[in-house]
């Protein structure tokens, strides 16, 4: 277990020479971009459209549950390992076939959302947003499976870093790009443009190297239930007595962030910042701030180790919500642009830092034979509690206000940091007691 929790040091800081020299990393960069397109468009960017359409705040908060497919993707992830996609897997191989299939599904769902009107026909928007979430989550499953199987373990950190950079660029396009286009041409044009933006990811999938595992036939499945249970059983058996605290740590690590993110865009609209200002701060500034957080996390993980950085990440990410609380108390009416930019940049840097730390930690917990399924399980576990609670965020703010909401979300980080300290202490004690 120790080797999974605290892996040997690997190269995690990305550089252009890696992107130029390695076809796997070039493909990973493009696939990361494709992965970053749909997630924000399911709810975060769309919440600006919903606010403009005068959808009640409580309903907007509930619609954060449209991302639930990302939290339950572990249910169908094992089948992506076992079965081929119709048509495309025969041409491209199992994983790349599923990637292209999922990307087509994302594009079609984006087109469906584009032709909706949440002000007059909210059910249409909800249906195609659910479809978008399912297709986007499926794309993430198969891209993660490709990432884990195509590269040796010593390159895992490097692949994760370039995947995150690509994802950040995709998020910039689906965040800032969509907001700018919506401000100039309307939301239908914005979502249709995002559908077109799936093309680079499709090209990356077509040019991606074939994972060696796709060249061998998979073992015959033992059935629906067994296919789902096998990765979970192996993970719990391997983690042993540390399984419960480790899984609780994964489940709680990003809980404050999910609660905060659900009400960030409504806060900005409540303070009367324009779509252009929001795009500039959250995506234009935020893109570079998030890249800085990504690089910083890679450096600190290498120097301090994953557990120490995990504790830093959870404290920093939760404390950063106090910047949004300050903005809620003292910003407003579209003024105080630099207060807006500073508060959001602090939160963005902390979020990016914590994300890389958590991705690296969860990757160390997976077994090679179940890597894609277990990683999907861990990411679902990470996202599910916070996402479910995020659905109540609008009701909380209606009873209190934005300022106290963000203060309260920051306090959730205290028990999570204490749990991380406990896991680190237990690991160190087991390491000392282990026979030489």
d(CA 297, CA 265): 26
204 contacts 34 by C-beta, under 8 angstroms: yes
Render 234-282 in DSSP notation, one character per residue.
Answer: HHHHHHGGGHHHHHHHHHHHTHHHHHHHHHHHHHHHHTT--HHHHHIII
d(CA 149, CA 95): 10
**Beta pairing partners, 292:** none
27 contacts 207 by C-beta, under 8 angstroms: yes
pLDDT tens for 57-72 read 778 877 877 877 887 8
Averaged pLDDT for residues 210-225: 63
Sign of CA dihedral 256, 295, 242, 421: negative
pLDDT tens for 341-382 read 999 999 999 988 988 888 888 877 877 667 778 888 898 888
Render 358-422 in DSSP notation, one character per residue.
Answer: HHHHHHHT--GGGHHHHHHHHHHHHHHHHHHHHTTHHHHHHHS-HHHHHHHHHHTHHHHHHHHHH
164-177 burial, b at 16+ Cβ within 10 Å, e below that, comes to bbbbbbbbbbbbbb
Render 405-418 in DSSP notation, one character per residue.
Answer: HHHHHHHTHHHHHH
How much is the pLDDT for 7? 42
Arithmetic mean of pLDDT over the chain: 82
Indicate the burial class of 380 (C-beta count within 10 angstroms; 0-12, 13-18, 19 or more): buried
Could you give the angle at the alpha carbon of 241 between the alpha carbons of 236 and 244, nearest 5°? 65
Render 122-135 in DSSP notation, one character per residue.
Answer: HHHHHHHHHHHHHH
pLDDT tens for 132-185 read 999 999 999 989 888 877 876 666 667 777 888 899 899 889 988 898 899 899
How much is the pLDDT for 432? 53
69 contacts 204 by C-beta, under 8 angstroms: no
- Read off the pTM: 0.74
Indicate the CATH number for domain 2-433.
Answer: 1.20.1250.20
d(CA 79, CA 432): 40
Per the structure block, which two tokens stand in for 242? Answer: 């540390």
317 contacts 256 by C-beta, under 8 angstroms: yes
Split at pLDDT 50, 70, 90, the class of 335 is low
Split at pLDDT 50, 70, 90, the class of 201 is very high
Q: Given the structure tokens 């007691």, which residue do they identify?
A: 433
């Amino acid at each position: 277990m120790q080797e999974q929790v605290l892996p040997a040091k690997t190269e995690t800081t990305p550089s252009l020479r890696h992107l130029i020299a390695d076809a796997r990393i070039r493909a990973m960069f493009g696939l990361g971009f494709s992965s970053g397109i749909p997630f924000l468009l399911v709810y975060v960017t769309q919440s600006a459209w919903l606010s403009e359409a005068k959808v009640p705040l409580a309903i907007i908060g509930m619609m954060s549950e449209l991302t639930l497919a990302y939290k339950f993707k572990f249910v169908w992830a094992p089948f992506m390992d076992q079965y081929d996609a119709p048509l495309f897997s025969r041409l491209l191989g199992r994983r790349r076939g599923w990637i292209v299939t999922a990307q087509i599904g994302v594009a079609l769902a984006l087109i469906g959302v584009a032709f909706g009107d949440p002000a007059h026909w909210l059910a249409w928007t909800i249906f195609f947003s659910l479809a978008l979430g399912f297709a986007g989550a499926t794309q993430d499953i198969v891209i993660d499976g490709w990432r884990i199987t195509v590269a040796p373990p010593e390159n895992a950190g490097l692949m994760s870093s370039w995947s995150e950079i690509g994802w950040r660029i995709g998020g910039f396009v689906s965040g800032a790009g969509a907001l700018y286009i919506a401000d100039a041409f309307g939301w239908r044009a914005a979502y249709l443009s995002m559908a077109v933006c799936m093309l680079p990811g499709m090209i990356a999938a077509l040019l991606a190297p074939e994972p060696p595992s796709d060249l061998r036939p998979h073992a015959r499945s033992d059935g629906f239930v067994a296919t789902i249970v096998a990765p979970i059983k192996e993970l719990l058996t391997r983690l042993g007595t540390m399984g419960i605290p480790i899984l609780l740590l994964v489940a709680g690590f990003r809980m404050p962030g999910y609660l905060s993110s659900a009400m960030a865009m409504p806060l900005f609209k409540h303070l009367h910042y324009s779509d252009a200002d929001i795009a500039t701060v959250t995506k234009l500034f935020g893109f570079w701030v998030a890249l800085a957080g990504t690089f910083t996390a890679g450096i600190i993980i290498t120097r301090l180790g994953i557990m120490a950085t995990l504790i830093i990440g959870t404290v920093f990410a939760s404390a950063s919500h106090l910047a949004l609380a300050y903005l809620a108390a003292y910003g407003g009416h579209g003024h105080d642009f630099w207060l807006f930019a500073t508060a959001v940049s602090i939160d963005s840097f902390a979020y990016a830092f914590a994300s890389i730390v958590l991705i690296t930690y969860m990757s160390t917990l997976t077994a090679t034979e179940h890597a894609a399924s277990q990683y999907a399980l861990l990411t679902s576990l990470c996202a599910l509690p916070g996402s479910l609670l995020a659905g109540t965020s609008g009701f909380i703010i209606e009873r209190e206000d934005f300022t106290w909401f963000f203060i309260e979300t920051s306090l959730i980080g205290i028990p999570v940091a204490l749990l991380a300290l406990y896991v680190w202490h237990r690991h160190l004690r087991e390491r000392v007691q282990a026979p030489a």
